[in-house]
């Protein structure tokens, strides 16, 4: 009887004693280690069941969405994803950042197409498209040869699924083809320059907004050129615009068409920069495959000519 009574009274142990007995079963928590973990951000790799780069990136983006996602649900994550890609330089992180930006880029492109002569927040929409293009270019340069060959098709499929999931329109096949065609030539020129021994620098978005895709420098004499890479159709359209604006004459347009490039000036006042509009003609530079020129020697010779005749020596290579 006494034994049963003693066990019964154990239930009435004061609360502070019970808590102390419970906590004493575990090691003392290291608060300094907690503070260290909070201060040092670590990139935890995303685990995907698929071995496909594009499927894994799409799966991670989908995991960020709510049950009933809306068009702008991904906007709050874009800057974080872009910064993560800048840190890691991993192809997967690049694809995640690219897919997260796609719905916003589609809406920006749609607004520009519907209001070609100007609208509210035009500069903001323009930068959104430039950010999207920059991420695409950076991602293409991180992925392997196999994925680069199938990038255009596989990325379009993944991008369409993300847009449909959030209720946004998709890039049309024509829009996507135009984006890939333009950026393919930009990447191809960049790598042709690098592989030929030039210093090549892809510009920031503020420089890109001034019409400069890249700067290429001769490491021997440090002369450089600002280049705006154009497809043949975009080149002719830009020449027509310059003629209408009175910045070049029809005779200048004819010469530029024959030479496949035009030296022009962008910006105003102290911010004027000399830019070379370079038309990537297949007849001059050959075929492209997987974001590269099949033969890079014609582009190497052209860059040598442009730097020799139009190179700048103002020490602004890498920054304007």
pLDDT of 44 reads: 46
Of 37-41, 75-79, 132-136, 207-211, the poorest mean pLDDT is in 37-41
Domain boundaries, the chain: 48-171, 172-320
What's the whole-model pTM score? 0.78
Mean of the per-residue pLDDT values for the chain?
85
Burial class (CB in 10 A: 0-12, 13-18, 19+), 142: middle
- Residue 181 pLDDT level (bands cut at 50, 70, 90): very high
Q: Decide which of 100 and 319 is more confident.
A: 100
Beta strand 273-279 with 214-217: parallel, antiparallel or unpaired?
unpaired
pLDDT of 255 reads: 96
CA gap 168, 166 in Å, rounded = 6
Q: Decide which of 317 and 41 is more confident.
A: 317
Of 65-69, 89-93, 197-201, the poorest mean pLDDT is in 65-69
Is 91's pLDDT higher than 90? Answer: yes
Phi, psi of 262 (to 5 degrees): -145, 135
DSSP string, 230-264: E-HHHHHHHHHHHHHTTSS-HHHHHHHHHHTEEEE
pLDDT of 26 reads: 44
Helices (H), the chain: 2-9, 15-23, 31-39, 53-63, 75-88, 91-114, 122-140, 145-149, 151-165, 173-195, 205-209, 232-244, 250-259, 282-285, 297-310
């Amino acid at each position: 009887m006494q034994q049963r009574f003693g066990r019964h009274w154990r239930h009435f142990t004061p609360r502070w004693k019970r808590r102390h007995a419970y906590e004493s079963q575990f090691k003392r928590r290291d608060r300094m280690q907690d503070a260290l973990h909070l201060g040092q951000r670590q990139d935890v790799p995303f685990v995907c069941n698929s071995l496909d780069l594009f499927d894994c990136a799409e799966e991670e983006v989908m995991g960020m969405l709510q049950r009933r996602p809306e068009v702008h649900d991904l906007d709050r994550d874009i800057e974080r994803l872009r910064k993560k890609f800048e840190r890691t330089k991993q192809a997967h992180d690049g694809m995640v950042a690219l897919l997260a930006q796609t719905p916003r880029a589609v809406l920006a492109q749609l607004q520009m197409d519907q209001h070609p002569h100007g609208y509210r927040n035009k500069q903001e929409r323009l930068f959104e498209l430039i950010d999207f293009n920059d991420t695409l270019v950076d991602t293409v340069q991180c992925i392997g040869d196999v994925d680069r060959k199938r990038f255009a098709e596989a990325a379009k499929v993944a991008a369409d699924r993300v847009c449909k999931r959030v209720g946004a329109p998709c890039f049309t096949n024509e829009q996507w083809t135009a984006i890939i065609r333009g950026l393919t030539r930009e990447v191809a020129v960049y790598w042709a320059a690098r592989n030929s021994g030039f210093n090549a620098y892809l510009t920031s978005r503020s420089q890109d907004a001034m019409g400069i895709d890249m700067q290429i420098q001769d490491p021997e004499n440090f002369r450089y050129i600002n280049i705006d890479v154009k497809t043949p159709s975009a080149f002719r359209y830009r020449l027509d615009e310059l003629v209408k604006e009175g910045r070049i004459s029809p005779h200048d347009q004819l010469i530029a068409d024959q030479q496949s490039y035009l030296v022009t000036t962008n910006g105003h006042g102290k911010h004027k920069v000399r830019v070379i509009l370079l038309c990537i003609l297949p007849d001059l530079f050959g075929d492209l495959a997987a974001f590269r020129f099949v033969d890079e020697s014609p582009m190497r010779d052209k860059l040598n000519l442009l730097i020799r005749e139009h190179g700048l020596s103002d020490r602004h290579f890498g920054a304007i």
